[in-house]
Amino acid sequence: MNVVEAVNVVKDYEMHKLVVHALRGINLNFTAGEFAAVAGPSGSGKSTFLHLAGCLDTITAGTLRIEGRDVAGLSKTELALLRRNRIGFIFQAYNLIPVLTVFENIAFPLTLLGVDKHEIRSRTMAALESVGLSGMEKRRPKEMSGGQQQRVAIARALVKQPVLILADEPTANLDSKIGHEILETMAALNQSAGTTFIFSTHDQMVMDYARRIVRIRDGCVEKDEKK
């Protein structure tokens, strides 16, 4: 099953009365369970593609489907529900809520989904264990290292059991040792849960872990290879 399907996707931005062609007719499919990297230099269009796949932005032309649904035909409310229910996000800046504990940060998406309190606790504690943070549920983000905060972000993305996780430069703020540990964690979770992971990156370490690498340059797919 195609989780993400892009057909001749174009994305243009207008900046200071100039049109920037971020994506120039991208054709890409990602199936369930993939662990893939979209790679390229700064300005290549890789982050733009991730934002479109996450329904954080809209395409200029072409067709984009998430689990077979043409997102161009969805209302803002429907797009918000699709993001909330089916897609998890991991950002390089972690984006944790500083006033909340680790438990509360991870549980927050389940609260939005209206999940029963007992199930929230069960799933949150299981997510904590899956990323190696058992016993840290009462800490706040400022009391944790960068690598630990990124693990919290991974647990938060996974706890709602999404079909797709989009990770934008997830190792950018980490040293190589912690970066390897984070990638090992995500690779193990991909194998155990079957969740599709798509990374946006220019980090060779991420590409080494990926089982598929899509190279983008100047808004076009330059190479698409599986290992």
Per the structure block, which two tokens stand in for 163? Answer: 């079909």
Average pLDDT, integer, range 1-23: 93
Residue 224: its pLDDT value, please?
Answer: 97
The three-class DSSP label of residue 189 is: helix
Closest of 118, 181, 193 to residue 157, by C-alpha = 193
Task: Give pLDDT, residue 168.
Answer: 92
Going by pLDDT thresholds of 50, 70 and 90, the confidence category of residue 96 is: very high
Q: Which pLDDT tens digit goes with each residue over 174-208?
A: 888 888 988 998 999 899 889 999 999 999 999 99
CA distance 71 to 66: 7
pLDDT tens column, 206-218? 999 999 999 999 9
pLDDT surpassing 90 at residue 166: yes
User: Within 10 Å of residue 78's Cβ, how many Cβ atoms?
Assistant: 13
Q: What local confidence, expressed as pLDDT, does residue 174 receive?
A: 83
CATH 3.40.50.720 fits 2-226, yes or no: no
Q: Measured between alpha carbons, how far is 95 from 101 in angstroms, rounded to an integer?
A: 13
Q: Domain locations in the chain?
A: 2-226
Say how far apart CA 26 and CA 167 lie, in whole Å: 19
Sign of CA dihedral 191, 9, 86, 137: positive
Give the residue-averaged pLDDT of 46-62. 95
Interval 39-46 mean pLDDT:
93
Calculate the average pLDDT of the chain: 93
**pLDDT value at residue 171:** 87
pLDDT band at 33 (very low <50, low <70, confident <90, very high): very high
In this prediction, residue 91 carries a pLDDT of 86
pLDDT given at position 173: 80
Question: Tens digit of pLDDT for each residue in 102-152?
Answer: 999 999 999 989 999 999 999 999 999 988 899 999 999 999 999 999 999
Pairing of strands 212-217, 35-39: parallel
pLDDT recorded at residue 36: 98
- Give the pLDDT of residue 172: 84
Q: The pTM is what?
A: 0.91
